[in-house]
Structure 1
Amino acid sequence: MPLSTTGRPTEPDAVRVIHAALDGGVRLLDTADVYCLSDEDLGHNERLMAKALREWNGDREQVLVATKGGMTRPDGSWGRNGRPEHLKRACDRSLVALGVDRIDLYQFHTPDPNVPFSESVGMLAELQQVGKIRWVGLSNVSVDQINAARRHVEVVTVQNRLNPFFREALTEGVVEHCESLGIGFLAYSPVGGGRLNKKLPTHPVVSAIAERRGVSPHGVVLAWVLELASNVIIIPGARTVPHVLDSVAAGELHLDPQEMRDLDAAEFDRS
């Protein structure tokens, strides 16, 4: 998302960031139609991903591209639209933006309180049945909504926020429920996002582990999120090549049980 929203880099620089991720072994690219500046800019990040993949020297078939539908960007703000007809149009636009005949993983971006959840999920089931979607995922959902969706379609992933500042996915049982069902959990904003991640370098527990291990504070937190459950996959945002390389390196860092307990018990100020 940072490659396509306010303050985004130039297109060549953005492509270099994506290539750095791919060259580092990343094989899941997560995007959305609304990762852009406004409704007039819809699909910017999807088109960027498509361009980067076309120009990459590696094997495109080994890369899974996940996108999302169900939100809008009126005048640069964030809105919701879970109406079936909107999701159908959004999926069709994403197919064009990504330059594919079928989307690997299509996720319902967020429930719309003005639209019955079953209607939104039902459209994803229809899109899968006609071959426009390979797999269906959900985002920003509860345990009850996961169960409700599974009555209409097989759910292979759930993408919710999870970081030391916001642990609702843990405390409300979403991660555990997904793990019990064999559903992958995609953790977005794994280091807090925005201003919160700037607190990590001075956090006493995080900084102590980072110094002892010779890694970045962000790497420590990413490693913590990864170790929370066997089904967790992190979706860190990055705007520069060094940030990408730092995130990739976190996959090789394994925290010991005491470090995990220390981070589990630590308080993280959201103010």
Structure 2
Amino acid sequence: METTQLGKSGVSASAIGLGGMPMSVYDRPTESQSINVIHRALDLGITFIDTADSYCKDESDKHHNERLIHKALQTYSGDTSNVIVATKGGLMRPDQSWTRNGNPEHLRETIQVSFAAFGGNKPIDIWQYHSPDPDYTIEASLTPAKVAQEAGMINQIGVSNFSVEQIKQARDVVDIVSVQNQYSPWQRQPETDGVLEYCEKEGLTFLPWSPFGGRRRHDNLTDIAAIAKLAEEKNVSVYCIVLAWLRSKSSCILPIPGASKVSSVEDSVKAVDIKLSVSEVQKIDKETS
């Protein structure tokens, strides 16, 4: 598996990651099926797994995905010492909805629970503030992460759903290794709002969430003719083409496609070997602009 460096940390990760959310929300698979998915990802060389405390059904189920990933890593027969798990905190799941909570006390508590969910014997590899809450300053919300990092509970810190100005504010409080914002053929805002350019310039890893457009648009990628044609020409899935398209946009991009089936993971890793030409990227860009 091709690797990439995480920010300026000097730590390498697989060029394609695994998003854990589909294994813990809505119609999630059985635990054994999910563990098989994670084990297969590790077999294929994936060493970056993305999760969050809110990847669960509701508040009574909080931290489900973190515990699932930890169990999968503990039961894997191979070496997991180079696996990086990035989690997030700052969203709540009342009645399966998504709401922000940047209350410093809440974030302090959820970091502790996340730390315990991963075994409590090593720092959280990357903890990301899930989404800025306008009721609290970014400094106030990130201070618990700073304190936890100083206490050895967190190794690296990242942010999610942040603008350039908000990223700058975050960096006044802590060092940032990653930015996780939405980016897909239907949502290309990182190209125009300055976030992707800023990440490139500052050496931050960009993690595009919902690369296939989410549950509503996941099955509509074949409607984009340029993507469908390239998939046919290269004898790969439309999902591989999207991941290759994202990777072509910047060397700082590390896609984290979600999966709840072994076949999905096996398909995603094929994207590493797909190199799109400038003209091929432009054809997709033109049709999705």
* TM-score (ref. length: structure 2): 0.91
Deviation at 1:124, TM superposition (A): 1.5
Report percent identity of matched pairs.
44
Q: Which residue of 1 aligns with 2:243?
A: 222
Q: Aligned letter for 1:88? A: R
Alignment match of 2:94 (pick from 67, 74, 89): 74
Distance apart, 1:215 and its partner CA:
0.5
Out of 45, 59, 62, the position equivalent to 1:42 is: 62
Given the alignment of the two structures, is residue 119 of structure 1 paired with residue 151 of structure 2, yes or no?
Answer: no
Aligned-residue offset at 1:267: 2.7
Identify the range of structure 1 (245-254 vs 138-147) with the bigger mean alpha-carbon deviation. 245-254
Quick check: 1:166 aligned with 2:187? yes
DSSP 3-state at the match of 1:141: coil
Q: Please point out which of 47, 52, 59 is paired with 2:79.
A: 59
Deviation at 1:263, TM superposition (A): 1.1
Q: Distance in 1 between matches of 2:161 and 2:75?
A: 32
RMSD between aligned residues: 1.0
Residue 189 of structure 1 pairs with residue 206 of structure 2: no
Deviation at 1:202, TM superposition (A): 3.1
2:114 aligned partner = 94
The aligned counterpart of 1:255 is 276
Structure 1 runs (4+) deviating above 3 angstroms are: none
Q: Distance in 2 between matches of 1:212 and 1:245?
A: 20
1:201 alignment partner in structure 2? 222
Q: CA deviation at 1:100?
A: 3.3
In structure 1, the partner of 2:42 is: 22
Determine if contact 2:183/2:209 at 8 Å carries over to the other structure. Answer: yes
In structure 1, the residue matched to 2:260 is 239
Residue deviations 1:67-111 (CA, integer Å, cap 9, x gap): 111111112211111111111100000011111331010000000
Cα separation, 2, equivalents of 1:58 and 1:109 = 31
Larger RCO, structure (CA 8 Å, separation 6 or more): 2
Counterparts of residues 104-143 of structure 1 (less than 5 Å)? 104-143=125-164
The one of 183, 196, 200 equivalent to 1:179 is 200
Instruction: Quote how far apart the aligned CAs of 1:132 are.
Output: 0.9
Q: Which residue of 2 aligns with 1:153?
A: 174
Paired residue type of 2:25: T
| Deviation of the 1:13 alpha carbon | 0.4
Give unpaired runs (5+ residues) of structure 2: 1-20
Q: Distance between the aligned counterparts of 1:201 and 1:264, measured in 2?
A: 15
